[in-house]
Amino acid sequence: MSLRYAILGFLGSTPATGYVIGREFAQGAGAFWSALPSQIYPELRALEQLGWIEGTHDASDRLNRRVFTLTAQGVAALQQWVEAPMEYPPERDAERVRLIFLDRSAPDIIRRHLLSHAAHFRDKLATWRVIRAAMTDGTHRQMRARLAQRPAGEHDLILLTKLLAYDGNIARAELEIAWAEDALTRLEALWSVAEEVAEPI
Amino acid sequence: MSLRYAILGFLGSTPATGYVIGREFAQGAGAFWSALPSQIYPELRALEQLGWIEGTHDASDRLNRRVFTLTAQGVAALQQWVEAPMEYPPERDAERVRLIFLDRSAPDIIRRHLLSHAAHFRDKLATWRVIRAAMTDGTHRQMRARLAQRPAGEHDLILLTKLLAYDGNIARAELEIAWAEDALTRLEALWSVAEEVAEPI
DNA sequence: CTGCCCATGTAAATCGTTACATGATTAC
DNA sequence: GTAATCATGTAACGATTTACATGGGCAG
């Protein structure tokens, strides 16, 4: 059900087409949730059926675009969901499963695994830092749209919740990089001892 | 496909029934992957069809138990998978989505959200620390079974890869707790300023 | 006029959860 | 005897990915 509310939340900042939502999920919003067009379009229909969003066809628009807007019921449904107690999903981490069973593999393969883990999160880190910076310097479109429709007194809180979310992801990425590097250090120490035993001086 | 290889990896340490695999996924192995019986039993059949595991019915066993053992082909298939390049799944984090859109909610609700986030990971942390300790002091059954069938020279590496995996999860849990506490601190600071503005001295 | 992006979808397959069903064994 | 745990499944549903289909607009 999270996709449903991620879409509602997005439309809570600004009306948008399915295409724009999909693009956001593939970029900025993708830090927290993502979905492909084949999932987004049917979900938009379902939300329209529920009366939580409203889609308008612009007759003058040659492309068959539909712009969706959050309804009052949609706002209420979103509010209810975000305030509901979290149900944490089970842990599922293919990287850890691989590492655990890499104990029959050559050092170079284990090294490659950890280096690419670090590289993956360095990538994420760079992306998220750019978005975070855009939020604090007022360049971030989505954020500006959201602030524009809310009283100035609430602006600090609106910005802070998003910054906290990005800061959390940034800290996670930094942790994964540091973890992978520490893991490599510990493995190299083990391998260098093994070598000394194999070829004593 | 990760479930498939998580099962193979488990059976690589010791033969087991579907029930035991399910119990492991709900406990120790659940730190990295999990699955319910309704997914495990069909997968075991599929693995048997592939010739990667072999199930034996013990006629003397009154319960209808089948004990599965990894075949040589299964060992090879697992090896190939763990060494293959990781494909990282998209980020999907319902907690972050909630936090981001909690900016219309009362301070107490946001507080509760972050406190329960910290509580959730304190729980995980405690569990994982206990398992990690069992691995280093030689109490961990699964680990002992795995070590027993491998030459002593490999024992350090076999243990280290598992410790690294748990250490990573432990560090993640610690991070989430610290993040939630920091988030609370920053929010309280914001709210106390807002109060002062509302009720100046 | 060609290639790229905009834009919206459908269909099938895969992965995972929920609900249901059944029966044996063990501890109290 | 009865409740908890052991043990193995099936069926239906929900969430996600992959593959396919179609056509308009815009820049070089």
Residues B116 and B156 in one domain: yes
Q: Which residues of A touch B91 (CB under 8 A)?
A: 30-34, 124, 169
Distance B23 CA to D3 C1' (A): 20
Higher pLDDT, A87 or B63: A87
Put simply, the answer to whether A183 touches B168 (Cβ < 8 Å) is yes
CATH number at residue B28: 1.10.10.10
* DSSP string for A117-172: HHHHHHHHHHHHHHHHHHHHTT--HHHHHHHHTS-GGGHHHHHHHHHHHHHHHHHH
Residues A58 and A137 in one domain: no
Please state, in angstroms and as integers, the Cα–Cα distance from residue B175 to each residue in A63, A160, A168, A194, B182, following that order: 47, 19, 9, 33, 10
Domain that holds residue B135: 94-198
Confidence label for B197 from pLDDT (cuts 50, 70 and 90): confident
SS3 at position A65? coil
Put simply, the answer to whether B102 touches A175 (Cβ < 8 Å) is no
Among A55, A83, A111, where does a domain finish?
Answer: A83
Q: Which residues of A touch B32 (CB under 8 A)?
A: 91-93, 96-97, 100
Q: Which of A95, A154, A164 sits opposite B86 (nearest CB)?
A: A95
Residues B112 and B79 in one domain: no
Residues A76 and A17 in one domain: yes
Q: Find out whether B107 and B187 touch, Cβ atoms under 8 Å.
A: yes
Separation between Cα atoms, residue B201 and residue B196, nearest integer Å: 7
Per the structure, the count of domains in chain A is 2
Residues B99 and B77 in one domain: no
If you average pLDDT over residues B113-136, what whole number do you get?
97
Distance B136 CA to D4 C1' (A): 33
Residues A117 and A67 in one domain: no
Residues 7-66 of A with CB under 7 A from strand C: 17-20, 22-23, 37-38, 41-42, 44, 63-66
Dihedral in degrees, nearest 10, Cα atoms A169, A167, A70, A139: -120
Beta strands in chain A (DSSP E): 53-57, 66-70
Q: Are strands A66-70 and B53-57 parallel, antiparallel or unpaired?
A: unpaired
Residue B194, pLDDT above cutoff 80: no
Nucleotides of C under 7 A from a protein CB: 6-12, 14-20, 23-25
Put simply, the answer to whether B103 touches A157 (Cβ < 8 Å) is yes
Put simply, the answer to whether B95 touches A109 (Cβ < 8 Å) is no
Residues B104 and B21 in one domain: no
Confidence label for B64 from pLDDT (cuts 50, 70 and 90): confident
Q: Summarize pLDDT for A94-136 with one digit per residue, the tens.
A: 999 999 999 999 999 999 999 999 999 999 999 999 999 999 9
Tokens 């990573």: give the residue.
Answer: B168
Confidence label for B59 from pLDDT (cuts 50, 70 and 90): low
Distance A194 CA to C19 C1' (A): 53
Residues B42 and B77 in one domain: yes
Distance A3 CA to D27 C1' (A): 35
In a domain, B146, yes or no: yes
In a domain, A88, yes or no: no
Separation between Cα atoms, residue B39 and residue B19, nearest integer Å: 11
Residues B62 and B133 in one domain: no
Q: Which residues of A touch B167 (CB under 8 A)?
A: 179
